[in-house]
């Protein structure tokens, strides 16, 4: 229920409590207890109660958080959402179909104009939502592969992201089918044509082209990660089996592990691994272990003194500053495969491509020359030319498979 008298009053309340809202938004991934929030507001219980009554805050048990509508608004506006929302894309497409039907059937011009405005807004929202979902999927698969330690969880999440990718790909097919086959869409484009509509349609088509290439790249990354997980899982399983045999003192009898290790000289060049075990709290609290702890502590202090006596003169700052350069490289084979699967003109494909690192125009020219010369047998070199920034580029298209 909307408890404010106007939108202006809502905005004034949000502005007045901007410090608190910023604090809770930054902590939205964690649970904030009532006591911690009360401490942050210097025991101002009245403010918390007032914001709860106005639905700015929500309380679940002893936890306080921003209302989901406000949190979702800020996440969508700041493009910081981490949840993949394919269902919302599906809802937008269905909503677009409904509005197209209403636009065609409506006879009153004022209502027709209202539906036309809503259709244009929905088209732009579909494009934004597709790009947002693709960015979330891409970032999520990289984050899961790099940070998740549990093989089963990692495998489950990557397969789940792949399912989301397939669902999004099907929705893009549905949008393309709507633009090609839907008579109500054709009627709307003919009767409601203006600069705003054409701009929205161009943005949507450009988004679909970029999305196709990104989804292909995401599919390849997921397959690569799944293959690596499979190899790592098999290796981990073998190590566990060897450890189990060693614990049962059956390693020599049931395997040739020791013989293989003896004949493999590469282990000599491996760095020595050291493992540190933290002492338990009961051990530290036991007074009978105090002499051992003091002995270790004195030994550690002696090492520090020896190191201190052997210190040389201070190294000059110029020798400590290291300027490390990283060079961004493009996998030409994968790039070529994306171009062949997408089709079109090579220079247009390069200029529209969503690179991980931003490339300058001169770098894109270099890439155009590299791809054209490296894979010349896979392309058709036409007699046509296109001009960009006073430079003529040959129209190069992939051969039909």
CATH of the domain at 219: 1.20.1050.20
Q: What is the pLDDT of residues 254-282, one digit of tens each?
A: 888 878 877 877 766 777 766 566 677 77
Examine the fold and report which residue of 214, 237, 260 is the final residue of a domain before the chain moves on: 237
Supply the pTM of this predicted model.
0.54
Alpha carbon 75 to its chain centroid, in Å, reads 14
Q: Does any domain span residue 329?
A: no
Do 206 and 133 belong to one domain? yes
Q: Note the pLDDT of residue 3.
A: 74
Domain of residue 373, residue span: 334-398
Per-residue CA distances from 172 to 7, 52, 151, 215, 247 (Å): 36, 41, 32, 11, 55
Which of 188, 210, 237 is where one domain is finished? 237
Query: What is the average pLDDT value for the chain, to the nearest integer?
Result: 82
Please give the DSSP secondary-structure letter assigned to residue 61: T
Reference 184, options 100, 86, 58, 120; nearest CA is: 100
Tell which wins on pLDDT, 213 or 251: 213
57 and 100 in a single domain? The answer is no
Integer Cα distance of 207 and 203 in angstroms:
6
The CATH number of the domain holding residue 69 is 1.10.10
204 and 88 share a domain?
A: yes
* 211 in the same domain as 116: yes
Does residue 336 contact residue 311 with C-beta atoms inside 8 Å?
A: no
- For 305-329, the pLDDT digits (tens) are 555 455 556 666 655 555 555 566 7
User: Distance between CA atoms of 1 and 54, rounded to whole angstroms?
Assistant: 9
- Does 90 share its domain with 225? yes
Q: Is residue 182 part of a domain?
A: yes
- Domain identity same for 206 and 344: no
> Considering only CA atoms, which of 159, 163, 177, 169 is closest in space to residue 212?
169
Total count of domains within the chain: 3
CB 236 within 8 A of CB 151: yes
What confidence category does residue 331 fall into, taking pLDDT thresholds of 50, 70 and 90?
A: confident
Together in a domain, 115 and 212: yes
Q: Is 86 found in the same domain as 158?
A: yes
């Amino acid at each position: 229920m909307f408890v404010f008298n106007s939108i202006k009053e809502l905005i004034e309340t949000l502005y007045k409590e901007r410090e608190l809202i910023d604090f809770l938004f930054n902590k939205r991934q964690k649970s904030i207890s009532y006591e911690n929030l009360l401490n942050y507001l210097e025991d101002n219980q009245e403010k918390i109660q007032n914001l709860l009554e106005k639905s700015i805050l929500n309380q679940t048990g002893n936890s306080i958080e921003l209302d989901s509508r406000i949190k979702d608004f800020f996440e969508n506006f700041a493009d910081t959402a981490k949840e993949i929302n394919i269902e919302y894309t599906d809802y937008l497409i269905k909503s677009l179909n409904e509005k197209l039907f209403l636009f065609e059937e409506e006879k009153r011009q004022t209502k027709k104009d209202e539906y036309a405005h809503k259709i244009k807004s929905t088209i732009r929202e579909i494009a934004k939502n597709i790009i947002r979902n693709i960015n979330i999927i891409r970032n999520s698969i990289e984050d899961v592969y790099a940070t998740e330690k549990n093989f089963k969880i990692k495998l489950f999440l990557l397969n789940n992201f792949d399912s989301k990718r397939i669902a999004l790909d099907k929705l893009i097919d549905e949008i393309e089918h709507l633009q090609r086959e839907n008579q109500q869409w054709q009627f709307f484009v003919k009767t409601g044509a203006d600069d705003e509509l054409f701009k929205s349609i161009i943005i949507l088509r450009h988004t679909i082209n970029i999305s196709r290439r990104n989804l292909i790249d995401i599919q390849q990354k997921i397959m690569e990660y799944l293959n690596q997980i499979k190899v790592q899982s098999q290796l981990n399983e073998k190590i566990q089996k060897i450890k189990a045999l060693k614990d049962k003192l059956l390693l020599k009898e049931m395997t040739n592990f020791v013989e293989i290790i003896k004949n493999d000289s590469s282990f000599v060049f491996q760095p020595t691994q050291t493992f540190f075990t933290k002492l338990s709290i009961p051990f530290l609290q036991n007074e009978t272990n105090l002499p051992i702890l003091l002995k270790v502590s004195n030994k550690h202090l002696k090492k520090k003194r020896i190191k201190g006596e052997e210190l040389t003169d201070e190294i000059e700052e110029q020798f400590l500053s290291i300027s490390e350069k990283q060079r961004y490289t493009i996998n030409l084979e994968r790039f070529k495969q994306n171009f062949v699967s997408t089709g079109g003109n090579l220079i247009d494909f390069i200029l529209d491509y969503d690179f991980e690192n931003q490339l300058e125009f001169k770098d894109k020219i270099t890439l155009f020359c590299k791809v054209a010369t490296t894979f010349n047998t896979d392309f058709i070199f036409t007699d046509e030319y296109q001009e960009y920034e006073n430079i003529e580029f040959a129209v190069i298209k992939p051969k039909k498979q």
